[in-house]
Every structure is written in structure tokens, then in C-alpha cells.
Amino acid sequence: MKMLGFEKLLVNSPWSKKRGLALAKKLLELTELGDRTDFLEIGCGNGEVSRYIAKTYMGSVTATDIDSEQINANLKSKDKTSNLTFQVADAIMLPFADMSFDVIISFGVLHHVADWQKALAEINRVLKPGGYLIYADVIYPEAISDMDRVSRFSFGLEAIDIDEINDYLETNGYKEIHSLTEKSLVCQNYEAVYHKSD
């Protein structure tokens, strides 16, 4: 779901860029990457994380978002590198061949995707064996998601289920190498790094 104007302001703010970058740096340090790595970012928003990865790692970075305004803003940015491409793509229908990427990174996206189970299956499809999933999200209780759904100003908040995500990933041969849950007043912030078996 596309963001409301208020959320867009927040996602494109310097605070949000700094926060995403710090998280990406921290979680990427937990991976062991080869010389050449092909990255996919799902729901890149302001694009800061993908720009950082493209400058820091050898290989390619494909930054995607469902929102063409976000993609166009990134395409207009002067901060460019030749190994970075931006394109519109829906997490539940990724326009990539099976096993295309070594690392998939997605921050704060699945809680906006009604069929987040399908998005997870797509992540699994396009991630290479031996690859990493670097994931962070906001976990809302069902009650908040239900209230949001009937609100006039709905943010499209889905109550994603981390246990279900972990069960799916475990069944498909992933090992969790890091996870952290931080509770706040109405939601939880979750971050994790998973390694897919060869």
C-alpha cells in the first residue's frame, strides 16, 4: 500500500534516513559476503540504504518500491553510482527470476503488505541458496490493525506474525543468525538476519 502524505514526510526525513542507515550497517556486519554480491532492497523508500550499499560493496544493487513517486525521486537524485538501479515493483510480484540475489534487505515494508505471506514467498523465490535476508519491521497487534482498517485515515497497517515468518523461514531452510525485538507503547520493532541454506 502506498504511504499517506504524513508517513511519506517521515520516511523521507533525515531522521529516517539516518536510522535506516545505522540499522543496515549493523545488520550487514553480521553477514559473510563474497567478493561480488547482488543485493535487492524491497520497499526502498528514500533510497538511502541502497545508495550506501552500492557505494560500499562490490556487485549490483536493485532498489525497488511499489510507489513510483519514491522511485522517481530516487532516480532524480544526484547521488548516483553505476551499480545501482531503482525500479517500481510490488513485493508480492517481484519481476525477477528465481535465485537472482545474494542479499535481500527490507525495512518497514511487510506491515504495509496485505498479503505479506506472498511477499515472503517471493523473497524466498528470488533469494539464492546461501543468501541472506536482512529484515526489520514494525509489529502491530491485531487490535491496532483492525482499528486502522476502519479509520478514515488508514495507514494500511497489517498485523504481521513474526512466529509465522520464522516458521516459514525455518521450514524453507533458513537459520536465524540474529534477532532483536524492542517493545514500544503500541507496537514492537523487530530486526533479524537469516541465512538461507546452500
Ligand X SMILES: C[S@@+](CC[C@H](N)C(=O)[O-])C[C@H]1O[C@@H](n2cnc3c(N)ncnc32)[C@H](O)[C@@H]1O
Chain residues that interact with ligand X, rule: CB under 6 A: 1-3, 11, 16, 20, 42-46, 65-67, 70, 90-92, 107-109, 112-113
* Rounded distance between C-alpha atoms, residue 102 and residue 85, angstroms: 16
Residue number with CB closer to ligand X (11 or 192): 11
Shortest Cβ 52–ligand X spacing (Å): 12
Residue number with CB closer to ligand X (5 or 129): 5
Residue number with CB closer to ligand X (157 or 169): 157
Shortest Cβ 49–ligand X spacing (Å): 7
Residue number with CB closer to ligand X (95 or 173): 95
Shortest Cβ 48–ligand X spacing (Å): 7
Shortest Cβ 101–ligand X spacing (Å): 15
Residue number with CB closer to ligand X (3 or 169): 3
Shortest Cβ 27–ligand X spacing (Å): 12
Q: Give the per-residue SS3 of the chain.
A: CCCCHHHHHHHCCHHHHHHHHHHHHHHHCCCCCCCCEEEEEECCCCCHHHHHHHHHCCEEEEEEECCHHHHHHHHHCCCCCCCEEEEECCCCCCCCCCCCEEEEEEECCHHHCCCHHHHHHHHHHHEEEEEEEEEEEEECCHHHHHHHHHCCCCCCCCCCCHHHHHHHHHHCCEEEEEEEEEECCCCEEEEEEEEECC
* Rounded distance between C-alpha atoms, residue 63 and residue 103, angstroms: 12
| Position of minimal CB gap to ligand X | 45
